[in-house]
Amino acid sequence: MTYLSQLARNIAESPTFALNEEARLLRERGEAVINMSIGEPKNKAPIAAILSSVSKIVSGDVKYSPPDGTPSMKKAIIGYMGENYDQNVAPENVIVSSGAKQSLFNALFAILNPQDEVIILAPYWVSYPEMVKMCHCVPVIVTPDDGSFHPRMDEIERAVSSYTKAIIVNSPNNPSGEVFCDDFIAQIVDFCERKKIHLIMDDIYHKLVFDGRRPAPAYRHTKQDLESSMILVVNGVSKLYGMTGFRIGWVVAPRNMVAVMTNVQAQTTSCASVVLQAAAEGALTGMQSIVESLRLTFQNNRDVLMQELRAFSGIRINKPGGTFYALPDFRAYLPSAHAKDSVELANYLLRKALVVTVPGKEFGMEGHLRLSYAGSAKDITTAIERIKWALDPNAPNEIYIGDRKLIRDWL
Protein backbone atom coordinates (compact mmCIF):
# COMPACT_ATOMS: atom_id res chain seq x y z
CA MET A 1 0.00 0.00 0.00
CA THR A 2 1.18 3.53 -0.83
CA TYR A 3 0.93 6.01 2.02
CA LEU A 4 0.42 9.67 1.18
CA SER A 5 0.70 12.59 3.55
CA GLN A 6 -2.48 14.19 4.85
CA LEU A 7 -1.15 17.55 3.63
CA ALA A 8 -0.68 16.30 0.05
CA ARG A 9 -4.09 14.60 -0.01
CA ASN A 10 -5.78 17.81 1.13
CA ILE A 11 -4.46 19.86 -1.81
CA ALA A 12 -7.19 20.23 -4.44
CA GLU A 13 -6.67 19.47 -8.10
CA SER A 14 -6.47 22.57 -10.30
CA PRO A 15 -9.96 22.81 -11.87
CA THR A 16 -8.70 24.76 -14.88
CA PHE A 17 -6.07 22.16 -15.75
CA ALA A 18 -8.63 19.34 -15.31
CA LEU A 19 -11.20 21.04 -17.56
CA ASN A 20 -8.59 21.92 -20.18
CA GLU A 21 -7.50 18.28 -20.30
CA GLU A 22 -11.10 17.16 -20.79
CA ALA A 23 -11.49 19.72 -23.59
CA ARG A 24 -8.28 18.47 -25.22
CA LEU A 25 -9.54 14.88 -25.23
CA LEU A 26 -12.87 15.95 -26.76
CA ARG A 27 -11.03 17.88 -29.49
CA GLU A 28 -8.91 14.83 -30.26
CA ARG A 29 -12.17 12.95 -30.87
CA GLY A 30 -13.14 15.61 -33.39
CA GLU A 31 -15.67 17.47 -31.21
CA ALA A 32 -16.20 21.20 -31.88
CA VAL A 33 -15.25 22.33 -28.39
CA ILE A 34 -14.94 26.01 -27.45
CA ASN A 35 -12.68 26.54 -24.46
CA MET A 36 -13.69 29.53 -22.33
CA SER A 37 -11.85 28.24 -19.28
CA ILE A 38 -8.21 28.89 -20.02
CA GLY A 39 -6.35 32.01 -18.92
CA GLU A 40 -4.09 32.15 -21.92
CA PRO A 41 -3.78 34.77 -24.68
CA LYS A 42 -3.75 33.26 -28.17
CA ASN A 43 -0.96 35.41 -29.62
CA LYS A 44 2.45 34.21 -30.72
CA ALA A 45 5.31 35.06 -28.36
CA PRO A 46 6.97 38.43 -29.09
CA ILE A 47 9.71 38.18 -31.71
CA ALA A 48 12.16 39.87 -29.32
CA ALA A 49 11.57 37.06 -26.82
CA ILE A 50 12.07 34.37 -29.48
CA LEU A 51 15.28 35.91 -30.83
CA SER A 52 16.72 36.42 -27.36
CA SER A 53 16.07 32.80 -26.34
CA VAL A 54 17.38 31.44 -29.66
CA SER A 55 20.55 33.50 -29.25
CA LYS A 56 21.09 31.93 -25.85
CA ILE A 57 20.57 28.41 -27.21
CA VAL A 58 22.84 28.97 -30.21
CA SER A 59 25.61 30.19 -27.92
CA GLY A 60 25.61 26.78 -26.27
CA ASP A 61 26.19 28.48 -22.91
CA VAL A 62 23.11 27.00 -21.23
CA LYS A 63 24.10 26.41 -17.61
CA TYR A 64 22.82 27.26 -14.15
CA SER A 65 21.97 30.87 -13.43
CA PRO A 66 22.33 32.40 -9.96
CA PRO A 67 19.37 31.15 -7.87
CA ASP A 68 17.78 34.61 -7.86
CA GLY A 69 18.10 35.17 -11.62
CA THR A 70 20.61 36.27 -14.25
CA PRO A 71 22.03 39.78 -13.79
CA SER A 72 20.67 40.90 -17.18
CA MET A 73 17.15 39.60 -16.42
CA LYS A 74 17.16 41.38 -13.06
CA LYS A 75 18.33 44.54 -14.82
CA ALA A 76 15.36 44.26 -17.20
CA ILE A 77 12.99 43.92 -14.22
CA ILE A 78 14.60 46.93 -12.53
CA GLY A 79 13.96 48.94 -15.71
CA TYR A 80 10.37 47.67 -15.82
CA MET A 81 9.82 48.71 -12.20
CA GLY A 82 11.19 52.17 -12.86
CA GLU A 83 9.04 52.69 -15.94
CA ASN A 84 5.78 51.17 -14.69
CA TYR A 85 5.97 51.62 -10.90
CA ASP A 86 8.16 54.74 -10.60
CA GLN A 87 10.20 52.72 -8.12
CA ASN A 88 13.98 52.52 -7.74
CA VAL A 89 14.86 48.89 -7.17
CA ALA A 90 18.22 47.24 -6.47
CA PRO A 91 19.19 43.79 -7.81
CA GLU A 92 19.00 42.51 -4.21
CA ASN A 93 15.28 43.37 -4.19
CA VAL A 94 14.48 41.02 -7.10
CA ILE A 95 14.18 37.24 -7.41
CA VAL A 96 13.31 35.53 -10.69
CA SER A 97 11.42 32.22 -10.55
CA SER A 98 9.84 29.63 -12.80
CA GLY A 99 6.58 31.51 -13.18
CA ALA A 100 4.60 33.93 -11.03
CA LYS A 101 3.02 30.90 -9.38
CA GLN A 102 6.36 29.78 -7.96
CA SER A 103 7.14 33.39 -7.10
CA LEU A 104 3.98 33.62 -5.01
CA PHE A 105 4.62 30.30 -3.29
CA ASN A 106 8.22 31.29 -2.48
CA ALA A 107 6.94 34.53 -0.94
CA LEU A 108 4.36 32.74 1.21
CA PHE A 109 6.87 30.09 2.29
CA ALA A 110 9.35 32.80 3.26
CA ILE A 111 6.99 34.79 5.51
CA LEU A 112 4.64 32.21 7.06
CA ASN A 113 4.89 30.01 10.12
CA PRO A 114 2.55 27.04 10.68
CA GLN A 115 -0.97 28.14 11.71
CA ASP A 116 -0.48 31.71 10.50
CA GLU A 117 -3.46 33.16 8.65
CA VAL A 118 -3.57 34.77 5.21
CA ILE A 119 -6.48 37.00 4.16
CA ILE A 120 -7.76 36.06 0.69
CA LEU A 121 -10.32 38.29 -1.01
CA ALA A 122 -13.18 36.54 -2.81
CA PRO A 123 -13.50 36.03 -5.65
CA TYR A 124 -9.93 34.71 -5.66
CA TRP A 125 -7.59 32.79 -7.92
CA VAL A 126 -8.01 29.08 -7.19
CA SER A 127 -4.39 28.49 -6.16
CA TYR A 128 -4.24 31.04 -3.32
CA PRO A 129 -5.94 28.91 -0.62
CA GLU A 130 -4.09 25.77 -1.70
CA MET A 131 -0.68 27.48 -1.52
CA VAL A 132 -1.47 28.79 1.95
CA LYS A 133 -2.47 25.29 3.08
CA MET A 134 0.75 23.87 1.60
CA CYS A 135 2.58 26.15 4.04
CA HIS A 136 0.61 24.56 6.92
CA CYS A 137 -1.32 27.81 7.30
CA VAL A 138 -4.93 28.93 7.27
CA PRO A 139 -6.61 30.78 4.38
CA VAL A 140 -9.20 33.26 5.67
CA ILE A 141 -11.69 34.11 2.94
CA VAL A 142 -13.31 37.56 2.93
CA THR A 143 -16.37 37.83 0.67
CA PRO A 144 -18.06 41.20 0.02
CA ASP A 145 -21.41 41.31 1.82
CA ASP A 146 -22.96 43.51 -0.85
CA GLY A 147 -22.68 40.84 -3.56
CA SER A 148 -20.13 42.85 -5.54
CA PHE A 149 -16.62 41.79 -6.49
CA HIS A 150 -14.94 44.79 -4.84
CA PRO A 151 -13.49 44.28 -1.33
CA ARG A 152 -14.31 46.61 1.55
CA MET A 153 -11.82 47.60 4.23
CA ASP A 154 -14.26 47.20 7.14
CA GLU A 155 -14.88 43.56 6.17
CA ILE A 156 -11.13 42.91 5.88
CA GLU A 157 -10.42 44.51 9.24
CA ARG A 158 -13.03 42.30 10.92
CA ALA A 159 -11.30 39.20 9.50
CA VAL A 160 -7.83 40.16 10.75
CA SER A 161 -6.59 38.46 13.90
CA SER A 162 -3.33 38.23 15.83
CA TYR A 163 -2.46 35.30 13.53
CA THR A 164 -2.82 37.32 10.31
CA LYS A 165 0.52 37.46 8.53
CA ALA A 166 -0.41 38.51 4.98
CA ILE A 167 -3.14 39.76 2.67
CA ILE A 168 -3.17 38.88 -1.03
CA VAL A 169 -4.55 41.50 -3.42
CA ASN A 170 -5.04 40.73 -7.11
CA SER A 171 -6.19 43.71 -9.19
CA PRO A 172 -7.20 43.53 -11.99
CA ASN A 173 -8.79 40.44 -10.54
CA ASN A 174 -8.88 36.85 -11.72
CA PRO A 175 -11.67 35.63 -11.98
CA SER A 176 -13.96 38.68 -12.02
CA GLY A 177 -12.03 41.28 -14.04
CA GLU A 178 -12.72 43.79 -11.25
CA VAL A 179 -10.21 46.64 -10.95
CA PHE A 180 -9.96 47.84 -7.35
CA CYS A 181 -10.24 51.57 -6.86
CA ASP A 182 -7.23 53.67 -5.85
CA ASP A 183 -8.87 54.65 -2.55
CA PHE A 184 -9.09 50.99 -1.54
CA ILE A 185 -5.44 50.34 -2.48
CA ALA A 186 -4.40 53.39 -0.45
CA GLN A 187 -6.43 52.20 2.55
CA ILE A 188 -5.09 48.65 2.51
CA VAL A 189 -1.49 49.84 2.11
CA ASP A 190 -1.92 52.13 5.11
CA PHE A 191 -3.62 49.37 7.13
CA CYS A 192 -0.95 46.76 6.39
CA GLU A 193 1.90 49.13 7.20
CA ARG A 194 0.30 50.17 10.51
CA LYS A 195 -0.43 46.55 11.49
CA LYS A 196 2.82 45.13 10.08
CA ILE A 197 0.98 42.71 7.81
CA HIS A 198 2.59 41.70 4.51
CA LEU A 199 0.68 42.99 1.49
CA ILE A 200 1.24 40.68 -1.47
CA MET A 201 0.25 42.44 -4.68
CA ASP A 202 -0.37 39.91 -7.45
CA ASP A 203 0.13 42.29 -10.39
CA ILE A 204 0.17 39.69 -13.17
CA TYR A 205 -2.62 41.55 -15.06
CA HIS A 206 -1.67 45.09 -13.99
CA LYS A 207 -1.47 46.59 -17.50
CA LEU A 208 -4.52 44.79 -18.91
CA VAL A 209 -7.03 47.48 -17.90
CA PHE A 210 -9.80 48.98 -20.01
CA ASP A 211 -11.70 52.17 -20.70
CA GLY A 212 -8.77 54.50 -20.12
CA ARG A 213 -8.16 53.50 -16.51
CA ARG A 214 -4.62 53.60 -15.13
CA PRO A 215 -4.55 51.93 -11.70
CA ALA A 216 -1.87 53.34 -9.40
CA PRO A 217 0.68 50.82 -8.08
CA ALA A 218 0.55 50.13 -4.36
CA TYR A 219 3.98 51.75 -3.90
CA ARG A 220 2.41 55.12 -4.73
CA HIS A 221 0.47 54.97 -1.46
CA THR A 222 3.32 54.27 0.95
CA LYS A 223 5.65 56.68 2.69
CA GLN A 224 8.06 53.85 3.51
CA ASP A 225 11.11 53.01 1.46
CA LEU A 226 11.31 49.60 -0.22
CA GLU A 227 13.25 48.05 2.67
CA SER A 228 10.74 49.17 5.31
CA SER A 229 7.52 48.68 3.34
CA MET A 230 5.24 45.68 3.86
CA ILE A 231 4.55 45.54 0.09
CA LEU A 232 5.67 42.60 -2.08
CA VAL A 233 4.96 42.70 -5.81
CA VAL A 234 4.55 39.49 -7.83
CA ASN A 235 4.60 39.69 -11.62
CA GLY A 236 5.63 37.81 -14.74
CA VAL A 237 5.48 37.62 -18.53
CA SER A 238 2.67 35.07 -18.92
CA LYS A 239 -0.35 37.34 -19.32
CA LEU A 240 0.96 40.70 -20.57
CA TYR A 241 3.04 39.13 -23.34
CA GLY A 242 1.07 35.92 -23.87
CA MET A 243 4.11 33.88 -22.80
CA THR A 244 2.38 31.36 -20.51
CA GLY A 245 4.61 28.47 -21.54
CA PHE A 246 7.85 30.30 -20.77
CA ARG A 247 7.21 30.15 -17.01
CA ILE A 248 9.10 33.23 -15.83
CA GLY A 249 7.90 35.36 -12.93
CA TRP A 250 9.47 37.48 -10.23
CA VAL A 251 9.04 39.06 -6.81
CA VAL A 252 10.14 42.54 -5.78
CA ALA A 253 10.50 42.78 -2.01
CA PRO A 254 12.82 43.93 0.81
CA ARG A 255 16.34 42.48 0.58
CA ASN A 256 16.12 40.29 3.67
CA MET A 257 12.98 38.66 2.30
CA VAL A 258 14.50 38.12 -1.15
CA ALA A 259 17.52 36.50 0.50
CA VAL A 260 15.26 33.96 2.23
CA MET A 261 13.27 33.30 -0.97
CA THR A 262 16.58 32.76 -2.77
CA ASN A 263 17.53 30.09 -0.23
CA VAL A 264 14.14 28.41 -0.65
CA GLN A 265 14.50 28.40 -4.43
CA ALA A 266 18.10 27.21 -4.33
CA GLN A 267 16.98 24.15 -2.36
CA THR A 268 14.02 23.36 -4.64
CA THR A 269 14.28 24.29 -8.34
CA SER A 270 17.82 25.75 -8.09
CA CYS A 271 17.05 28.51 -10.60
CA ALA A 272 14.85 29.42 -13.52
CA SER A 273 16.03 28.30 -16.98
CA VAL A 274 18.59 30.69 -18.48
CA VAL A 275 17.00 30.20 -21.92
CA LEU A 276 13.57 31.21 -20.64
CA GLN A 277 15.01 34.11 -18.65
CA ALA A 278 16.62 35.33 -21.87
CA ALA A 279 13.22 35.16 -23.57
CA ALA A 280 11.54 37.11 -20.75
CA GLU A 281 14.34 39.67 -20.86
CA GLY A 282 13.75 40.10 -24.57
CA ALA A 283 10.04 40.68 -23.96
CA LEU A 284 10.66 43.28 -21.24
CA THR A 285 13.29 45.22 -23.20
CA GLY A 286 11.85 44.83 -26.70
CA MET A 287 9.02 46.68 -28.43
CA GLN A 288 6.07 47.00 -26.04
CA SER A 289 3.38 47.36 -28.70
CA ILE A 290 2.29 43.74 -28.14
CA VAL A 291 0.99 44.63 -24.67
CA GLU A 292 -1.22 47.40 -26.03
CA SER A 293 -2.33 45.18 -28.91
CA LEU A 294 -3.40 42.45 -26.49
CA ARG A 295 -5.09 44.96 -24.21
CA LEU A 296 -7.15 46.38 -27.08
CA THR A 297 -8.06 42.88 -28.27
CA PHE A 298 -9.26 41.91 -24.80
CA GLN A 299 -11.22 45.14 -24.39
CA ASN A 300 -12.99 44.49 -27.69
CA ASN A 301 -13.66 40.87 -26.69
CA ARG A 302 -15.01 42.10 -23.35
CA ASP A 303 -17.46 44.34 -25.21
CA VAL A 304 -18.58 41.45 -27.44
CA LEU A 305 -19.11 39.24 -24.39
CA MET A 306 -21.10 41.93 -22.57
CA GLN A 307 -23.34 42.46 -25.61
CA GLU A 308 -24.07 38.73 -25.85
CA LEU A 309 -24.69 38.24 -22.13
CA ARG A 310 -26.98 41.25 -21.82
CA ALA A 311 -29.33 39.54 -24.27
CA PHE A 312 -29.32 36.44 -22.07
CA SER A 313 -32.38 36.47 -19.80
CA GLY A 314 -31.61 35.62 -16.19
CA ILE A 315 -27.86 36.28 -16.36
CA ARG A 316 -26.36 39.07 -14.27
CA ILE A 317 -22.92 40.35 -15.11
CA ASN A 318 -20.53 42.93 -13.65
CA LYS A 319 -18.63 44.64 -16.45
CA PRO A 320 -14.96 43.61 -16.18
CA GLY A 321 -12.52 46.53 -15.93
CA GLY A 322 -9.50 44.45 -16.88
CA THR A 323 -7.93 40.99 -17.43
CA PHE A 324 -9.66 38.66 -19.89
CA TYR A 325 -12.17 37.08 -17.52
CA ALA A 326 -15.79 37.63 -16.56
CA LEU A 327 -17.73 35.99 -13.73
CA PRO A 328 -21.42 36.10 -14.67
CA ASP A 329 -24.08 35.03 -12.18
CA PHE A 330 -25.97 31.92 -13.35
CA ARG A 331 -28.05 31.42 -10.20
CA ALA A 332 -31.25 31.98 -12.20
CA TYR A 333 -30.57 28.51 -13.64
CA LEU A 334 -29.60 26.88 -10.35
CA PRO A 335 -30.61 24.55 -8.92
CA SER A 336 -32.36 22.79 -11.78
CA ALA A 337 -33.09 19.30 -12.98
CA HIS A 338 -29.75 19.40 -14.79
CA ALA A 339 -27.43 20.99 -12.23
CA LYS A 340 -27.60 21.69 -8.51
CA ASP A 341 -24.49 23.90 -8.38
CA SER A 342 -21.83 25.59 -10.53
CA VAL A 343 -19.72 22.42 -10.76
CA GLU A 344 -22.60 20.41 -12.22
CA LEU A 345 -23.56 23.35 -14.42
CA ALA A 346 -20.07 23.53 -15.93
CA ASN A 347 -20.13 19.79 -16.61
CA TYR A 348 -23.63 20.06 -18.10
CA LEU A 349 -22.54 22.84 -20.49
CA LEU A 350 -19.51 20.83 -21.55
CA ARG A 351 -21.66 17.76 -22.31
CA LYS A 352 -24.57 19.53 -23.99
CA ALA A 353 -23.01 22.61 -25.58
CA LEU A 354 -19.33 21.62 -25.85
CA VAL A 355 -18.33 24.84 -24.07
CA VAL A 356 -15.69 24.70 -21.33
CA THR A 357 -16.25 27.05 -18.36
CA VAL A 358 -14.91 27.07 -14.79
CA PRO A 359 -17.28 26.68 -11.82
CA GLY A 360 -17.54 29.76 -9.62
CA LYS A 361 -17.30 27.53 -6.56
CA GLU A 362 -13.57 27.19 -7.22
CA PHE A 363 -13.17 30.97 -6.83
CA GLY A 364 -15.35 31.33 -3.73
CA MET A 365 -18.38 32.42 -5.80
CA GLU A 366 -20.90 29.59 -6.00
CA GLY A 367 -23.58 30.08 -8.64
CA HIS A 368 -21.22 31.87 -11.04
CA LEU A 369 -19.13 30.63 -13.96
CA ARG A 370 -15.81 32.09 -15.04
CA LEU A 371 -15.66 32.80 -18.76
CA SER A 372 -12.36 33.64 -20.42
CA TYR A 373 -12.58 35.94 -23.43
CA ALA A 374 -8.94 35.51 -24.42
CA GLY A 375 -9.99 33.73 -27.64
CA SER A 376 -11.59 35.15 -30.77
CA ALA A 377 -14.72 37.30 -30.90
CA LYS A 378 -16.33 34.59 -33.08
CA ASP A 379 -15.68 31.94 -30.42
CA ILE A 380 -17.23 34.20 -27.78
CA THR A 381 -20.38 34.79 -29.82
CA THR A 382 -20.73 31.11 -30.70
CA ALA A 383 -20.09 29.94 -27.13
CA ILE A 384 -22.74 32.22 -25.62
CA GLU A 385 -25.21 31.17 -28.31
CA ARG A 386 -24.61 27.54 -27.34
CA ILE A 387 -24.94 28.25 -23.60
CA LYS A 388 -28.23 30.09 -24.22
CA TRP A 389 -29.48 27.18 -26.29
CA ALA A 390 -28.65 24.73 -23.50
CA LEU A 391 -30.20 26.79 -20.68
CA ASP A 392 -32.72 29.36 -21.89
CA PRO A 393 -36.21 28.11 -22.91
CA ASN A 394 -36.62 31.32 -24.93
CA ALA A 395 -33.64 30.50 -27.14
CA PRO A 396 -34.21 28.73 -30.51
CA ASN A 397 -34.76 25.01 -30.11
CA GLU A 398 -32.27 24.02 -32.81
CA ILE A 399 -28.58 24.73 -33.18
CA TYR A 400 -25.60 23.62 -35.23
CA ILE A 401 -22.57 22.56 -33.20
CA GLY A 402 -19.79 21.86 -35.63
CA ASP A 403 -21.49 20.21 -38.60
CA ARG A 404 -24.22 18.56 -36.51
CA LYS A 405 -27.74 19.89 -36.10
CA LEU A 406 -28.96 19.42 -32.52
CA ILE A 407 -32.49 19.74 -31.18
CA ARG A 408 -33.06 20.67 -27.55
CA ASP A 409 -35.57 18.30 -25.96
CA TRP A 410 -34.93 18.79 -22.24
CA LEU A 411 -36.38 22.24 -21.43
- Contacts made by residues 300-309, CB under 8 angstroms, sequence distance 24+: 300/377, 301/373, 301/374, 301/375, 301/376, 301/377, 301/380, 302/177, 302/210, 302/326, 302/373, 304/373, 304/377, 304/380, 304/381, 305/371, 305/373, 305/380, 305/384, 308/380, 308/381, 308/384, 308/385, 309/384
Q: Compute the mean pLDDT over every residue in the chain, rounded to the nearest whole number.
A: 95
For the chain, the residue count is 411
**Nearest-angstrom CA–CA distance, 384 and 305:** 8
**Nearest-angstrom CA–CA distance, 90 and 69:** 13
Does a structural domain hold residue 379? yes
Looking at the structure, tell me whether residues 334 and 368 fall in a common domain: yes
Say whether pLDDT at 157 is over 70.
yes
- Please give the pLDDT value at position 398: 94
Does a structural domain hold residue 251? yes
Q: What is the pLDDT of residues 240-270, one digit of tens each?
A: 999 999 999 999 999 999 999 999 999 999 9
Looking at the structure, tell me whether residues 157 and 263 fall in a common domain: yes
- Please give the pLDDT value at position 51: 98
Whichever domain contains 87, its CATH number is 3.40.640.10
Looking at the structure, tell me whether residues 279 and 303 fall in a common domain: no
- Please give the pLDDT value at position 215: 79
Single out the residue in 270, 285, 300 at which a domain terminates: 285
Q: What is the pLDDT of residues 343-402, one digit of tens each?
A: 999 999 999 999 999 999 999 999 999 999 999 999 999 999 999 999 999 999 999 998
Does a structural domain hold residue 203? yes
DSSP 33: -
Looking at the structure, tell me whether residues 346 and 367 fall in a common domain: yes
Does a structural domain hold residue 249? yes
Does a structural domain hold residue 75? yes
Residues of the chain above pLDDT 70, percent: 100
Looking at the structure, tell me whether residues 251 and 333 fall in a common domain: no
Single out the residue in 285, 319, 345 at which a domain terminates: 285
Q: What is the pLDDT of residues 194-209, one digit of tens each?
A: 999 999 999 999 999 9
Range of the domain at 363: 6-44+290-407
Looking at the structure, tell me whether residues 14 and 69 fall in a common domain: no
Spatial strand order of the sheet with 369-372 comes to 325-326, 369-372, 358-359
Confidence of residue 1 (pLDDT cuts 50, 70, 90): low
Looking at the structure, tell me whether residues 260 and 300 fall in a common domain: no
Residues of the chain above pLDDT 90, percent: 88
Looking at the structure, tell me whether residues 151 and 243 fall in a common domain: yes
Which residues are 236's β-sheet partners? 249
Does a structural domain hold residue 34? yes
Does a structural domain hold residue 33? yes
pTM confidence score? 0.95
Helix 127-134 vs helix 100-111: crossing angle, to nearest 10: 40
Does a structural domain hold residue 1? no
Looking at the structure, tell me whether residues 266 and 297 fall in a common domain: no
Looking at the structure, tell me whether residues 18 and 143 fall in a common domain: no
Looking at the structure, tell me whether residues 307 and 277 fall in a common domain: no
Say whether pLDDT at 301 is over 80.
yes
Confidence of residue 14 (pLDDT cuts 50, 70, 90): confident
Q: Pairing between strand 369-372 and 398-401?
A: unpaired
Looking at the structure, tell me whether residues 218 and 87 fall in a common domain: yes
Per the structure, the count of domains in the chain is 2
Q: What is the pLDDT of residues 98-120, one digit of tens each?
A: 999 999 999 999 999 999 999 99
Q: Tell me what the mean pLDDT of segment 67-71 comes to.
A: 98
182 by Cβ neighbours in 10 Å (0-12 / 13-18 / 19+) ranks as: middle
- Please give the pLDDT value at position 38: 84
Whichever domain contains 31, its CATH number is 3.90.1150.10
Q: What is the pLDDT of residues 326-344, one digit of tens each?
A: 999 999 999 999 899 999 9
Q: Between the ranges 26-30, 146-150, 280-284, where is the mean pLDDT highest?
A: 280-284
Single out the residue in 251, 285, 319 at which a domain terminates: 285
